[in-house]
Amino acid sequence: MSELLQNYIRPPGIESLAAIEARGFDAEEFLKLDLGVGELADHPGVLAVPYREQGQVVAIHTGTFAKGVVGLQGGRWLGMSVPPLYNGDVLRDASLADEPLIVVEGEMACWAALAAGFRRCVGLPASVAGKGRQPHLEAAADLLRDIPRAVICTFDDEHGQALRANIADTLGPVRCQWVTYPQGCSDLPSTLRRFKARGVQETIARARWYSMPGFYSMTELPEPPINPAFGTGILGLDDHMRLRRGDLTIISGVPGAGKTTFANEVFCRLALARGFRTIWASFEQRSKPDHRTSLRTFHAGKPETIMSPAEKEAADAWIDEHFRFLVPDDDTEASLDWLLDMLGAAVTRFDPFAVVIDPWNALEHKRPQGMTTTEYTGVAIERIKRFARKRRVHVAVVAHPAKMQRNRDGEYPKPTLYDIADSAHWANKADLGVMVWRKTGDTEAEIAVVKSRYYRELGTPGAVKGIYDQNTARLTITDDGGMRGQG
C-alpha cells in the first residue's frame, strides 16, 4: 500500500511552491523539512500531502490552494478513510521526548510550527476533525500517555475553540496549554505569514495553562472571606479559646467531668452575647426536658422550678430563636451519613454559627469492610472538617476517652486528646482541643485548652478552673489562669 500511494506523488512544481511561499513559507526551507509534500502524479497543480505511520505512507490528502484561503480546497483522501495524526511519527521519536507537543488543526499549521523550529508537532486532519473526543488522538493514546505538556494551537473561531476544548478533554487539561494569536492573526500559518518564525515562537511561548483545580499561584487565589474568631466570655478562657466558622473543636474528658455542661455554656453565651445560633445533635441529653431545662436556666439565671410563667415564655422564645435540635426517631440509625445529610439541610434552613455533636461515641459507626477503626475515624473526621469549611459553620464534637483505669486513689488520670476512643486523629486534626477534668467528689473542674492550631487567631493553650452553679447553669471561675479569682 505504501509504495502504491507513494507512486501517486511527484515533486512539487514551480506553481505549487509559489503558492506555498504566498502563505508565508520559504520554499527552500520548506523543502528542507522533508515532509514528502508534492503534487499528484496524474494531476499537476493538485497538492499531495502524505500521512505516514512508522515511516510508511498510509494516506494522502489532496487539494488545491484557493485565493484567500489558507488550507487545501476541494481535496480528497487516498488510502485510509480515517487517516492518522499528521506527522504522528514524531511521537515515536525518543530524541524529542523533552520537547513540548504542539497539537494543531490541519497540515499547514503543522508546517508553520515545524518551520519555526518546533519539531514535535502533530496535526489533526482539518477536513475530518469533528466535534467531541478526537478519534485521531484516541487512536494514538499509547503514544500520548507520557506526554508531559501539550500546546494546543487551533483556529481562532467558534469551531476551533470547540476543537481546542475537545483536544484538551482527550489529552487531559492538566497537561495542556492554549495559545492566543497576535492581533490580525487567527492561526499559526497567518502568524508565520505576518511575523515570520519569531511570531510563531513567541505565540507558543505565551501559551497559557488550562486551569487546574486546587493548583494556584498566590495572586490567583481569591481573598478568603473575613472570618473573625469570637471569645466565649468565660473569664480567663478567651486568651486560650476563640471560635470561628469553619473550624473543628474537640471537647473530651472522663465521665461526669462536665463536657456537655461546658459545651452548653459556651454556645449559650455566644447566643446571649452575640445572637449566634447553634444546632445541637445530642444523643445522650434529651432535648425535652433535660436540654430545655439547662437552656431555660441559663437564660433566666435561676432554677426552672422557681421561674415565673413569663420567664419560661421568654426563655422558650430565646431558645426557639437561637437553637435547633436533631432528634432521630426510634427507627433511625443515627450514622455519620445520616448526620451529615440532616445537617446539610438544617444549616441551609437555619444558618447557624455552630453545630454541636454530643457525643461522637453515640453515633452508629459502620466501618467499610477492610477498614480499621483508626482509618475510619480519620476519614470521618475529615468529612466533618470538609463540611465545616464548605458550609462555614463551627463544629464542636464531644467525644469520650477510651476506657481509663483508676489509680490507687480511685481517681482517673488526666486524659489527653490522644486518649479519645478509636484514634489519635482527634489530636492531630482538631483546630481546638479542650479537656474537662474534675476529681471525683470535687466541685471544681479544670477547663484546659490543650490544642490550638492557630495561636494568633484562636488563642494559646492554657487552663481555667471553675465551679458549676446549677442554679444559674454557669461556671463560676475560681482560677482564671492568672490566679485572679472571680468575686
Tell me the mean pLDDT in the region 280-308. 94
pTM of the model: 0.69
Distance CA 352, CA 278 (A): 5
- Residue 305: the pLDDT is 94
Does the domain formed by 230-403+411-479 have CATH 3.40.1170.20?
Answer: no
DSSP character at residue 27 = H
pLDDT, tens digit, for every residue of 315-371?
A: 999 999 999 999 998 888 899 999 999 999 999 999 999 999 999 999 998 888 889
Q: What is the DSSP string of 351-364?
A: --SEEEEE-GGGSB
Q: Can you name the residues that pair with 148 across neighbouring β-strands?
A: none
* Most distant CA atoms of the chain, gap in Å: 111
pLDDT, tens digit, for every residue of 19-28?
A: 888 888 999 9
Cα–Cα–Cα angle for 184, 189, 190, nearest 5°?
A: 20
Q: What is the DSSP string of 253-280?
A: ESTTS-HHHHHHHHHHHHHHHH---EEE
- Residue 336: the pLDDT is 95
Q: What is the DSSP string of 19-73?
A: HHHHTT--HHHHHHT----EEETTEEEEEEEEEEETTEEEEEEEEEEPTT--SEE
Domain ranges of the chain: 1-83, 89-211, 230-403+411-479
pLDDT, tens digit, for every residue of 383-422?
A: 999 999 999 999 999 999 987 777 777 777 888 999 887 7
Burial of 345 (0-12, 13-18, 19+ CB in 10 A): exposed
DSSP character at residue 290 = I
Instruction: Tell me whether strands 248-253 and 432-437 are parallel, antiparallel or unpaired.
Output: parallel
Question: What number does CATH give the domain 89-211?
Answer: 3.40.1360.10
Do 89-211 and 230-403+411-479 have matching folds? no
Task: With beta carbons less than 8 A apart as the criterion, state whether 253 and 415 touch.
Answer: yes
Q: 132 or 311: whose pLDDT is higher?
A: 311
End-to-end CA distance of the chain: 102
* Residue 116: all three cell numbers together: 519555526
Residue from 123, 78, 134, 131 nearest 101 by CA: 123
Residue from 354, 438, 445, 436 nearest 400 by CA: 436
Distance CA 79, CA 97 (A): 29
